[in-house]
Structure 1
Amino acid sequence: MSANLEKRVACYVRVSTENQLENYSIDEQTDRLKAFCKAKDLSIVKFYTDGGYSGGNMNRPGLQQMLKDIKDKHIDMIIVYKLDRLSRSQKDTLTLIEDEFLSNDVDFVSMSENFDTSTPFGKAMIGILSVFAQLEKDQITERFTMGRIGRAKNGYYHGGPTAPTGYDYIDGELVVNEYEALQVKEVFKRFLDGQSINAIRKYMSEHYTNKYGNWSSHTLVLNILKNKVYIGKVKFKGKAYAGKHKPIISTDIFNDVQKILTSTKREDSKTIFQKNPFKANNLLTSLIYCKNCGARFCGNHGNYVCYSRGKTDKRKIIDPNCKNKKWNIQALDKIIKDEILEAALNKEYFNKIISNKEIVPVDNTKKMKKRIDEIDKQIVRMMDLYQVGDIPIEQISHRIVKLKKEKDTISDQLVDKKQTKLSIAEAKGILSRAAIILENGDLSQQRMVVSNLIDYIEIDDECIQIHWSFV
């Protein structure tokens, strides 16, 4: 009897939704494997079949049964039509072959690639071919992602049937739900009236219901206040595009809300839910930026200090060698208050601010943008190394994730410096009340005045540059 006929051979076949369109049907794979085994004098004891399962998913019934039979010593050899039928993941492919097959004395053969693990060449080819299987999966994902980006660019909502509160999802598009739209407007109005997230949630829960039940979640309220879908935008992968759907909230109202939310960022986010949403630790929190490196300033032990110099949050460091001056909190607060009071009480000074066209603000974001470009180039280099197989995919993935986090942090700081402009009439209205509020108001009220009148402040050692919202 032939040695091959003594081997207990099992064949594994798989198709996914994408591959139904290719020439890899279950029947096609089965017929070719039978012919291959007949030509090689191999005796097939069992076929394991997974129909409609992705190669990126290890939790397949046929695959799991095969692994169980391997451990029970019922199989001597596994044959597949093509390597990617086993898995499209490099890591999973090598794990299956090395930890499940070879460790249990089971040989592995891929018919199309014409190799098997019983030969040295076959073992060497496993690592090479699995790289390309992973690359093919990534290309499918990339094509799918590009399709979703194209849909977003064309203005279509990509969230599927789970439409945001205020809209229904009909025939692939968002359509305003008038009853829920009324509720969304109520949320924005109450927030601008100074109510806390908790107070809004409580009121809405007592008076309204929506398609998802009631307003029992703080997160629901906050997400609605941040969602650009309500001003007619659709988002995908962090970018916003003009949507085809009808807006519920005006852009002006939405920007006013974002300005408040941005000006109230702090380490302990619980206060936004339980207390006044305008509360922060210091008067100028989130408004000061370093003109030297572009990082934001924070309050630290009685001083405003550049994050790069203070190093209290590694994610917000732009230049670890930055030596920009620390400013005493009370001293800098007084300087900014005095500037606002001067603009409020001195008509000539106010007119000088709004007519001072010759001053062109320095692009203090240059270093941050340069670092983002450097990160993008590093990510491209990582992908190039991956495609030539010089570095393991796990190591490359770890580096890319780390670079992506740094890029997101820097990008957030750029977005925060958003320069929302006031009309001259609006600025005069706020300034007319500024003196009373800055002298007698609590911190949250004073912050409202400052953050409305000032987009951001730049510090360059002894030099302080105010970027007004009404210039």
Structure 2
Amino acid sequence: MRAVAYIRVSTDDQVDGYSLEKQEEECLRYIKQNGYQYIETFMDDGYSAKDMKRPALQRMLSEIPNRSFDMIVVWHTDRLTRDIIDGLTMVKTLFNKYGIKFASVTEDIDTSSYDGMMMFTMRLMMAQRERERIGERVSMALTRKASTGKRVNLGAIYGYDVTGGRLVVNPQEADVVRDIYQHYVYKGWGYGKIAAHLNESGVPAKKTQWNASTIKGILKNITYTGMNEWTPKNGTPIVTQGDHEAIIDAELFTLAQTQLKRRGSLEMSRSSYHYPFSSIIKCGACGASYTASYTRKPVDKYGYCNYRCSNKKAGLCHEPDIAEIKFAKLFFEFFSRVTIEPEPYTPAISEDVVKQAEKERKRIEREIVKLDNRKSNLLDMLGDKIITREDYKKKVEEINQSLTKLQNDLNVLQPKEVAVTRSPDEVVDMIRKLEDNWMAMPNEDRKFIIQMLFKRIVIQKTENEWVIKEVEPA
């Protein structure tokens, strides 16, 4: 009988006594002792058995229809697979079909008999459960690591170099990151425009060229504020203070996230920054947004710009256009006479409050680590049959409920800067004083202020007179 050996290790297996050399030695001894003819060894070095995407395994399986061997010998069943479905599929659709025998050096398995097939299935179930236990332990270890403020993913991040497992600011790249945030937040540029600008300027990207998705990823990455974030599988994101230097401040990052959300829901204009009120003005007749257009004359600071209902072109609305100079006058007159009821003023957060919150955050993180350790211990107790599966399930459910509550409390208690909060009177005064500086302000500053302050301003022309019907702040 012609026999081949299949051997496999993943990274973890190599340090646990299952080396490739040891497996091959045991398989060859088994083949020789049973008087079989050795043909070849198929070796997968550094591949997990969670699936069948392994080059040597696929090459061996492809040889089966050619009948170039009669038996497959492995050191242990889990070398072939740790998935019960994959294992049964190989045996029933290939091994049995072509009369290929399967043998395990360390287990008494003969898949040609009913008892042997039952034993093979049980071994596969055990191997799959062991793989799942390893995955659970790895996940818990990563969660503990993330909860203590350490980085879980040590991959390269634009703006930083990785030195000794820590992020160190790359000065040249950090300047580019700051420019990306500045252009997006204060100039209103979109992802594509920023990417095109960087490519045209010859700024080297991390890999190939800059593209819109790369810019979006940078704008959403909280790492640039000095924080770490990691999301466990099907879990809640864990955000902690990192040990690396921030490239941008938390306030700028928050502004970027606000704009990302509002642009995604079309609350803010994506058009050129020459038009401060684009998409903010809403039609009182049909509810659509007013977008900017202009005459053949060059656009100055605002004199020649018009706003038009977006439903007008399709004939769905007949409201007239309004010049920006006329709307600006209407806008400032509205705020000069409107009465705004001030809400209760919330003073700035004191340093004592922040320190107390940080103390509570550390306490919660310690509790999370303790509960994760308890889950790991319970898993070991289940494996050693110290507790029943029912007790294990009940206790883990209780721990998971506690972990969920602690994680929710932790999300609320993330470190906050000591904020200087403006009172409602100050906000109203700022809007009313905006008119004094309006003509001297660059277009990008106008748009930034207007679109950060307002979600919508509803207008309608009644009896040949424009009126502002509703104002909704951002």
Query: After TM superposition, is the score higher than 0.5?
Result: yes
Shift of 1:431: 2.9
Distance 1:196 1:95, change over 3 A: same
Map residues 306-455 of structure 1 onto 2, 5 A cutoff: 345-346=338-339, 349-350=341-342, 352-354=343-345, 423-425=420-422, 427-428=424-425, 430-432=427-429, 434=431, 448-450=452-454
Other structure's SS at 2:3 match:
strand
Conserved in 2, the CA contact under 8 Å of 1:278 and 1:448?
no
1:183 has 2:187 as partner: no
C-alpha displacement of 1:82: 0.9
In the alignment, what sits opposite 2:10? 16
CA distance in 2, matches of 1:277, 1:228: 30
CA distance in 1, matches of 2:131, 2:434: 60
Per-residue CA deviations over 1:210-231 (Å, capped at 9, x if unaligned) read 4527873222222222111111
CA shift in 2, pair 1:178/1:65, >3 Å: closer
Match of 1:125 in 2: 119
| Distance in 2 between residues matched to 1:239 and 1:449, nearest whole Å | 31
Q: Is the 8 A contact 2:181 2:256 kept in 1?
A: yes
CA separation of 1:268 and 1:250: change in aligned 2, threshold 3 A: closer
Q: Following TM superposition, by how much is the alpha carbon of 1:268 offset from its aligned partner in structure 2, in angstroms?
A: 12
Write out aligned runs for 1:215-230 (5 A).
216-230=210-224
Structure-2 change in CA distance of 1:122 and 1:265 (3 Å): same
**Code of the aligned partner of 1:165:** Y
CA distance in 2, matches of 1:44, 1:96: 23
Distance 1:213 1:133, change over 3 A: closer
What is the count of residue pairs matched by the alignment?
Answer: 338
1:168 aligns to what? Answer: 161
Kept in 1, the 8 Å contact 2:146–2:229? The answer is yes
Question: Measured at CA, do residues 201 and 274 of structure 1 come closer, stay the same or move farther in structure 2, by a change above 3 Å?
Answer: farther
Aligned to 1:287: none
CA contact (8 A) 1:196 1:276 kept: no
Q: Check whether the contact 1:32–1:81 (CA below 8 A) recurs between aligned residues.
A: yes
**Structure 2 counterpart of 1:82:** 76
Taking structure 1 as reference, are residues 66 and 119 closer, same or farther at Cα in structure 2, changes over 3 Å only? same
TM-score by length of 1: 0.58
- Kept after mapping to 1: 8 A contact 2:195/2:210: yes
Residues 413-442 of structure 1: CA deviation (Å, up to 9, x unaligned): x99xxx99985537545434657999xx99
Distance 2:121 2:161 in 1: 49
Sequence identity percentage:
23
Asked whether the 8 Å contact 1:230–1:248 carries over to 2, the reply is yes
Sort the Cα spacing of 1:450 and 1:72 in 2 relative to 1 into closer, same or farther, 3 A: same
Does residue 1:149 correspond to 2:143, yes or no? yes
1:65-80 maps to which residues of 2 (within 5 A)? 65-80=59-74
> Is 1:112 matched up with 2:103?
no
Q: CA deviation at 1:119?
A: 1.0
Q: Aligned pair in 2 of structure 1 residues 63, 205: CA closer, same or farther (>3 Å)?
A: closer
- Structure 2 equivalent of residue 239 of structure 1: 238
The corresponding residue for 1:26 is: 20
Match of 1:310 in 2: none
Q: Which amino acid aligns with 2:135?
A: T
What is the SS of the residue equivalent to 1:196?
A: coil
Superposed displacement of residue 247, structure 1 = 0.5
SS of 2:264's equivalent in the other structure is coil
SS in structure 1 opposite 2:344?
helix
Quick one: which of 45, 64, 71 aligns to 2:58?
64
Q: C-alpha distance in 1, partners of 2:278/2:417?
A: 20
In structure 2, do the counterparts of structure 1 residues 153 and 15 end up closer, same or farther at CA, with 3 Å as the change threshold? same
Alpha-carbon displacement from aligned partner over 1:238-262 (angstroms, at most 9, x marks no partner) = 3222110001111122112212222
Letter in 1 for 2:73: I
For residue 443 of structure 1, report the CA deviation from its aligned partner. 11
CA distance in 2: counterparts of 1:95 and 1:345, whole angstroms: 75
Higher radius of gyration, 1 or 2:
2
- Identify if the C-alpha distance between structure 1 residues 265 and 427 changes in structure 2 by more than 3 Å, giving closer, same or farther: farther
Deviation at 1:173, TM superposition (A): 1.0
Deviation at 1:23, TM superposition (A): 2.8
* Residue 88 (structure 2) aligns with: 94
| Separation in structure 2 between the aligned mates of residue 146 and residue 140 of structure 1, nearest angstrom | 10
Contact 2:4 2:73 in 1 (8 A): yes
Q: Any idea what the Cα deviations from partners look like across 1:175-204, whole Å, max 9, x if unmatched?
A: 111222222222222223232224433444
Paired residue type of 2:175 = L
TM-score when scaled to structure 2? 0.58
CA distance in 2 between partners of 1:80 and 1:275 (Å): 67
Give deviations 1:64-91, integer Å, cap 9, x for gaps.
3432332112323322221111112233
Determine if the alignment matches structure 1 residue 252 to structure 2 residue 243. no
SS at match of 2:454: helix
Q: Which amino acid counterpart does residue 12 of structure 2 have in structure 1?
A: E
Greater CA drift, 271-280 or 229-238: 271-280
Gaps in structure 2 of 5+ consecutive residues: 232-236, 289-333, 348-374, 384-403, 436-442, 457-471
Cα deviation for residue 448 of structure 1 reads 3.0
* Contact 1:165-1:210 within 8 A present in 2 as well: no
Aligned position for 2:359: none
8 Å Cα contact 2:71/2:103 also seen in 1: yes
- Indicate the RMSD between aligned Cα atoms, in angstroms: 4.8
Higher RCO (CA-CA < 8 Å; seq separation 6+): 2
